[in-house]
Amino acid sequence: MFKEFINEVKKATSSTYLKIALVAVMLVPLLYGAIYLKAFWDPYANIDQVPVAVVNLDKGYNDNNKKVNIGDELITTLNNDDNLKWNFVTADEAQKGLDQKRYYASLTIPTDFSAKIYSIDSDKPQSTALIYRSREATNYLATTITNNVSSKVTDTLSHKITAKYLSNIFLDLKDTATELTKAKDASIQLVKGLSSTNNGVYSLHTGLANLNLGNDQIKSGLTTLNNKQNEFTNGLASAITGTDQLKIGAENVSDGITKGQGALKAYLITNPSAATNPYIIGLSSALTASNAGQAKIISGLETMTTHLSSAKNGSAALADGSKQLLSGSNDLSDGISKLSNGTTELSTGLTKIEDGASKLSDSLSDGADKATAKSDDKKTAVQTNIMSEPITMDTNSYDLVSNYGSGFAPYFISLALWVGSLLSFFVIDFTKKPKSKKETIMKSTILAVLGITQSTILGLVLQHSLGLSVANPWQFYGFIGLISLTFMALIQLLIQHLDNVGRYIAIVLLILQLTSAAGTFPKETLPAFFQIVNPILPMTYSVSGLRDILYTNELSNLWIPLAYFVGILVICLTTNLILTKNLYKKA
């Protein structure tokens, strides 16, 4: 058996051309898989060479006599950003660069960028936008990358602006807390003032009660005075009348004395001798004295009458005054009563106001304490950061894939092994029908060795040259060897028995697997037909199995692709032997 195998190898390498061809076929999977993976290994490593034009037209904004320019701040940020090759140019240069495909995209900061951002505090706040333009025809994936990076830049800028807005809000809150503290202190003083006022109103109410009591006593005295004044006035009137009568009587007496003096003078004229009569002299003297005394009496009565009249007039005025005073006292009593009632209502109202002011003071105190607590600088700094970006993604991948190329490795390895298997039949001639079972087994053995060699070389170069991270090395080499053997057996079955039709079917199967294996986009995103053929074709299971072996230590699901490939391998080998045996019989 070994001699037959060596003979078949010698036939396959009988010429230098065949030897070179055999080596080339061994390297086909390496060239196909390694070159593709090298090209796609880590495209994001050079993303900083992807040119994007940036145009800053922002005119800035005057914020409380302070010139601000968010556009300039964004330019500074982009200067320190190495995600893309940012080119800071004019608007004309940006447009010309897009037209000439020197830039994949342009990012323009509009003239009113800062003004609209700061309009948030105005009566008419406005949103703003960065103007992003891309040329997808230049390179669709490049514009997708620049779009994602530009979106991240916008998100970062929005985060900073939001943080600034929130910082201003918390600053206003801090000022509010200060004002609330002042209002709290003022409310405490108000409560104290209202309490003092209420005490004063109570004292006023007490004083009014005492004043009303004194006024009642004055009213009683005035009433008594008024009554006695009438009696006094009547007495004065009687005294004036008596005095007048006394005056009349005195005048009558004076007239009688005057007449007696006249009669005495007439008697002395007729009786001169009587002038020396002591009795006559005495009578004359007595009459003269009486007349003089009577004159004084009359004068005194006149004076008395005058004084009594004055006293009467004064008494009348006093009576009128006492009546007016009594009337005023009554009015005062009514006023005191109303004022007393008013002070009662005022006291009640002040008590309610005092209670309200006390509650207001308590509320202001609570509000000031809470606002002060909320306006703590360290706390507000943390709150500002959280509120400007309230939700973040806590990313924790179960199976970490190191780079872009590693992610595509299962797909390209499967593709390379299929192409390597297919091209192997350009070296090993299966157009001649095998003459014996041994010849068939020998050719299959050569194909198996060739397939194992292809897969081993591919795996070694990917792991140790490109740096493919392999979580399970032994399983990796064993599984890609099984994949290669299965692909060889399947393609051998097709070509050995269908010749060129078999080659055509192998190429069709390759095309179908490229589109349905879910090596790039998820299976769920494929059209319906490719989702139907997905669980049937081999590359689906090679991609799935390699993902488990390369990225994770969890291999509990590996039995499914293993069972599939072992089953396909056994079916292909068995079918090939059966069909080849029929060829021998026909021969």
- pLDDT tens-place string over residues 156-190: 777 667 766 665 665 555 556 566 566 666 666 66
What are 33's two structure tokens? 């898989």
Percent of the chain whose pLDDT exceeds 90: 14
Q: Could you read off the pLDDT of 8-47 as tens digits, one per residue?
A: 555 555 556 555 655 666 666 766 666 666 766 666 677 7
Check residues 312 and 493 and name the one with the higher pLDDT.
Answer: 493
- Do 542 and 573 belong together in one domain? yes
Given a cut of 90, is residue 541 above it in pLDDT? yes
Given a cut of 50, is residue 208 above it in pLDDT? yes
Task: Please report which helix (H) or strand (E) contains residue 108, including its range.
Answer: strand 105-109
**Residues 540/517, Cβ–Cβ less than 8 Å:** yes
**Residues 290/257, Cβ–Cβ less than 8 Å:** yes
- Do 166 and 233 belong together in one domain? no
Place of tokens 């299971």: 541
* Per-residue pLDDT, 489: 93
- Do 441 and 527 belong together in one domain? yes
Weakest-pLDDT range from 33-42, 49-58, 86-95:
33-42
Given a cut of 90, is residue 576 above it in pLDDT? no
Cβ contacts of 231 within 8 Å, gap of 6 or more: none
In a domain, 75, yes or no: yes
- Mean of all residue pLDDT scores within the chain: 74
Spatial CA neighbour of 417 closest among 466, 461, 454, 445:
454
* Per-residue pLDDT, 388: 45
What are 158's two structure tokens? 């929005």
In a domain, 506, yes or no: yes
> Which phi and psi (to 5°) does residue 41 adopt?
-55, -55
Inter-CA distances, 108 with 47, 126, 154, 259, Å: 20, 18, 12, 147
With bands split at pLDDT 50, 70 and 90, how would you rate the model's confidence at 545?
very high
* Per-residue pLDDT, 100: 87
- Do 31 and 68 belong together in one domain? no
Spatial CA neighbour of 417 closest among 39, 32, 37:
32
How many residues make up the chain in this entry? Answer: 587
Place of tokens 């007016």: 324
| 47 vs 316: CA distance, rounded Å | 122
* Per-residue pLDDT, 231: 64
The CB-based long-range contact list for 171-175 (8 Å cut-off, 24+ gap) reads: 173/371, 173/374, 173/375, 173/380, 174/371, 174/375, 174/380
Cite the DSSP H helix spans in 375-431: 377-388, 404-424
* Per-residue pLDDT, 194: 57
Range picked from 80-84, 326-330, 514-518 for highest mean pLDDT: 514-518
In a domain, 222, yes or no: yes
pTM over 0.75: no
**Residues 52/103, Cβ–Cβ less than 8 Å:** yes
| 488 vs 420: CA distance, rounded Å | 9
Provide the 10 A C-beta neighbour count for residue 209: 12
Cβ contacts of 495 within 8 Å, gap of 6 or more: 425, 430, 502, 503, 506
Provide the 10 A C-beta neighbour count for residue 335: 14
In a domain, 184, yes or no: no
In a domain, 187, yes or no: no
Task: Please report which helix (H) or strand (E) contains residue 63, including its range.
Answer: strand 61-63
| 253 vs 247: CA distance, rounded Å | 10
Spatial CA neighbour of 493 closest among 404, 387, 579, 374:
579
With bands split at pLDDT 50, 70 and 90, how would you rate the model's confidence at 391?
very low
| 261 vs 271: CA distance, rounded Å | 15
With bands split at pLDDT 50, 70 and 90, how would you rate the model's confidence at 456?
very high
Check residues 171 and 282 and name the one with the higher pLDDT.
Answer: 282
With bands split at pLDDT 50, 70 and 90, how would you rate the model's confidence at 449?
confident
Given a cut of 80, is residue 132 above it in pLDDT? yes
In a domain, 181, yes or no: no
Spatial CA neighbour of 448 closest among 277, 572, 347:
572
- Average pLDDT for 210-217: 64
**Residues 547/413, Cβ–Cβ less than 8 Å:** no
- Average pLDDT for 450-469: 88
In a domain, 290, yes or no: yes
- Do 254 and 164 belong together in one domain? no
Given a cut of 90, is residue 473 above it in pLDDT? yes
**Cα dihedral 388→394→400→404 (10° resolution):** -20
* Per-residue pLDDT, 14: 52
**Residues 408/519, Cβ–Cβ less than 8 Å:** yes
- Do 424 and 345 belong together in one domain? no
Spatial CA neighbour of 401 closest among 562, 560, 548, 556:
548
Provide the 10 A C-beta neighbour count for residue 410: 24
- Do 84 and 138 belong together in one domain? yes
**Residues 23/383, Cβ–Cβ less than 8 Å:** no
Helix (H, G, I), strand (E, B) or coil at 81: coil
| 460 vs 473: CA distance, rounded Å | 10
- Do 424 and 337 belong together in one domain? no
Q: Could you read off the pLDDT of 94-117 as tens digits, one per residue?
A: 999 888 888 888 889 899 988 887
Spatial CA neighbour of 492 closest among 581, 579, 412, 413:
579
What are 126's two structure tokens? 């406005």
Counted domains in the chain: 3
| 472 vs 554: CA distance, rounded Å | 10
Helix (H, G, I), strand (E, B) or coil at 53: strand
Inter-CA distances, 21 with 24, 98, 428, 464, Å: 5, 47, 10, 25
Q: Could you read off the pLDDT of 485-539 as tens digits, one per residue?
A: 999 999 999 988 888 898 899 989 998 998 898 887 788 888 899 889 999 999 9
Percent of the chain whose pLDDT exceeds 70: 49
Provide the 10 A C-beta neighbour count for residue 93: 16
Place of tokens 């192409």: 419
**Residues 548/558, Cβ–Cβ less than 8 Å:** yes
Q: Could you read off the pLDDT of 348-386 as tens digits, one per residue?
A: 665 666 566 566 666 656 665 665 655 555 555 555 554
- Of 359, 374, 389, the residue at which a domain comes to its end is 374
Inter-CA distances, 79 with 48, 153, 269, 433, 536, Å: 12, 12, 162, 70, 52
Angle formed at CA 545 by CA 541 and CA 548, multiple of 5 degrees: 150
Write the CATH number for 132.
3.40.1710.10
Given a cut of 80, is residue 255 above it in pLDDT? no
- Average pLDDT for 555-564: 92
- Do 116 and 235 belong together in one domain? no
Given a cut of 80, is residue 66 above it in pLDDT? yes
- Of 152, 171, 190, the residue at which a domain comes to its end is 171
Check residues 308 and 489 and name the one with the higher pLDDT.
Answer: 489
- Of 119, 153, 171, the residue at which a domain comes to its end is 171
| 95 vs 105: CA distance, rounded Å | 9
Range of the domain at 216: 199-374
Amino acid in position 210: N
What are 275's two structure tokens? 């002038």
- Average pLDDT for 140-157: 71
**Residues 107/150, Cβ–Cβ less than 8 Å:** yes
Task: Please report which helix (H) or strand (E) contains residue 4, including its range.
Answer: helix 2-12
Based on the number of CB atoms within 10 Å of its own CB, is 293 exposed (0-12), middle (13-18) or buried (19 or more)?
A: middle
- Do 470 and 575 belong together in one domain? yes
- Do 141 and 81 belong together in one domain? yes
Given a cut of 80, is residue 332 above it in pLDDT? no
Angle formed at CA 398 by CA 396 and CA 403, multiple of 5 degrees: 85
Spatial CA neighbour of 416 closest among 503, 487, 472, 489:
487
Amino acid in position 467: G
Alpha-carbon Rg of the chain, whole angstroms?
A: 66
- Do 261 and 314 belong together in one domain? yes
In a domain, 159, yes or no: yes
| 321 vs 412: CA distance, rounded Å | 129
